[in-house]
Structure 1
Amino acid sequence: MKNHVQPVFIDPTTDEGFKRLFGDKVNLINFLNIIFRGRKIITDLTYRDTERIGATEEIGKVIFDLVVQLSTGEEIIIEMQTSIQTNLKQRMLYYASKVISDTAPKGNRKSWGYAIPEVYTIVLMDGFHMPGGDRSTYFHDTCLCNRDSGKIFYEGLGFIYLEIINFVKSEAEVEDELDKVFFMLKNMPTLKTLPRIMKSAVFQRFFQLASYAKLTKEERTMYDISLKRKWDAEAVRMYQEGQESSCNC
């Protein structure tokens, strides 16, 4: 059991931290604009009232998500995962496909003409590596493309993975806005003050909402529960990894 010292900022990779920071529309718009790196300029979005198509809170497999629709019609799944999932890539393809299929009308498909929305899945991966991935890469931006030429075949189905564990840059090594997002996600719960590189209004808003001191008594209780859940998941994962290492000896 970890000693629970009162933090200055909450952990954005917990359920309550994730919902508090990314449940704020301005924060989420700013985050998405950084993640899309100028490919899309997002000005407004609507949170979808979903059945949390990917959510589970089993010990060792903690996942929480948001589904939003941009004002331009695109659908985006934003998900936080704190442990490796079986068939990770296939699982996200399934959920993206479900979002697409749910937009199809029950009848009159001919007049509809398969006018499907663009769907993007953004996965924040905390504490584990991409299966078979390059551990020197922390940002994965993928879409359908020609295998030989690399030319994009279809832009409207995208998968973006933030492999937080692979980000090892110090504050002095941070290069751009995307790096700042990674630095924030990885280091926020251990920081004592707002970092010098986070002085812009975009990041100040994130840290203002993340202030532990500004949480109500009820919010603190809910956050502490979600933090313990994360610790429990980490303990289970470490035990499982230890068992696997022993078996491979």
Structure 2
Amino acid sequence: MSEELQENVVKESSIVYGKTPESPVIYINPFEDWVFKRIFASESSKEVAKAFLNVVLEGKRYIESITYGKNEYPGEIRDEGNSVFDFICKDKDGVTFLVEVQRQEQKNFKERSLFYTSRLISDQSPKGYKEWRYNLKEIYSISLLENFSLPETKPGKYLHNVSLCDTDTGSVFYNKLHFTYIEVAKFNKKEHELKTLLDEWLYAFFSSGEICQLNTRGT
């Protein structure tokens, strides 16, 4: 990540309550819902969102431009609230990217992840177009897990890429559905230990969060 882009990530996650000698600036945790949306999901932050997605994708594809889509879906059962994701966007080829922060452990999280991704799949069916033939576009689901980890994952390994595969050979069975889980709680690298661009992004997130804690304690 360039120093300019990293500085923008930190600045975008900040809010000034009032400049006083005791507390000139307070930074807010970038994983707070509204802060994360401010960093990644506004028209003015497309370049930041695009850069982050390209780092997460690690060469699977390269995004040149994005457009934001609807991020709210109605509940399927009575008394169920609407589902609101942090942001959903598409690239110029119509590939969909769903990005959300999960701050606390949730029951049946894997099933929930699969369920909401399936809604993006069903959305692709054009009404009344018989020649469609299930020609689906790719979908990427990217989840940042802040305060919990996935079960049965290795200590220290915070990045997980999941797809449908042949259980005998391990080869990819279907290459248009991708799940990426980033266990933020496992990331504890110091600045001199950063090796990848994703390391740098997570370090930038944590840097703004630590500044928030330090400044808050001083007020």
Which TM bucket (shorter chain)?
A: 0.7 to 0.9
Matches within 5 A, 1:70-219: 70-109=91-130, 111-191=131-211
Could you say which structure has the greater relative contact order, defined with CA pairs below 8 angstroms and 6 or more residues apart?
Answer: 1
Structure holding more helix per residue = 1
By how many angstroms is 1:142 displaced?
Answer: 1.1
Query: SS where residue 182 of structure 2 aligns?
Result: strand
Contact kept? 1:144, 1:153, Cα under 8 Å? yes
Q: Paired residues, what number?
A: 182
Counterpart Cα distance in 2 of 1:13 and 1:154: 32
By how many angstroms is 1:31 displaced?
Answer: 0.2
Contact kept? 1:50, 1:67, Cα under 8 Å? yes
Q: TM-score, normalised by structure 2?
A: 0.76
One-letter identity of the residue aligned with 2:181: Y
Matches within 5 A, 1:54-69: 64-69=85-90
Counterpart Cα distance in 1 of 2:121 and 2:178: 12
Counterpart Cα distance in 2 of 1:99 and 1:34: 23
Pair 1:6–1:104, CA change in 2 (3 A): farther
Unaligned runs of 5+ in 1: 55-62, 193-211, 213-223, 225-249
Aligned: 1:22 with 2:43: no
2:64 equivalent among 36, 43, 55: 43
Pair 1:40–1:8, CA change in 2 (3 A): farther
Contact kept? 1:66, 1:77, Cα under 8 Å? yes
Contact kept? 2:88, 2:97, Cα under 8 Å? yes
1:135-193 alpha-carbon deviations (Å, 9 max, x no partner): 3210011111121221111121000011000111111101120111121223322149x
**What percentage of residue pairs aligned between the two structures are identical?**
34
Counterpart Cα distance in 1 of 2:24 and 2:178: 39
1:205 match: none
Contact kept? 1:164, 1:185, Cα under 8 Å? no
Query: SS where residue 152 of structure 1 aligns?
Result: coil
One-letter identity of the residue aligned with 1:17: V
Structure 1 segments of 4+ aligned residues over 4 angstroms from their partners: 4-8
Counterpart Cα distance in 1 of 2:138 and 2:86: 18
Contact kept? 2:72, 2:85, Cα under 8 Å? no
Pair 1:69–1:148, CA change in 2 (3 A): same
Aligned: 1:13 with 2:34: no
Contact kept? 1:164, 1:186, Cα under 8 Å? no
Counterpart Cα distance in 1 of 2:117 and 2:148: 22
RMSD: 2.4
Unaligned runs of 5+ in 2: 1-16, 18-22, 76-83
By how many angstroms is 1:74 displaced?
Answer: 0.5
Contact kept? 1:129, 1:135, Cα under 8 Å? no
Q: TM-score, normalised by structure 1?
A: 0.67
Pair 1:6–1:102, CA change in 2 (3 A): farther
Counterpart Cα distance in 2 of 1:134 and 1:122: 19
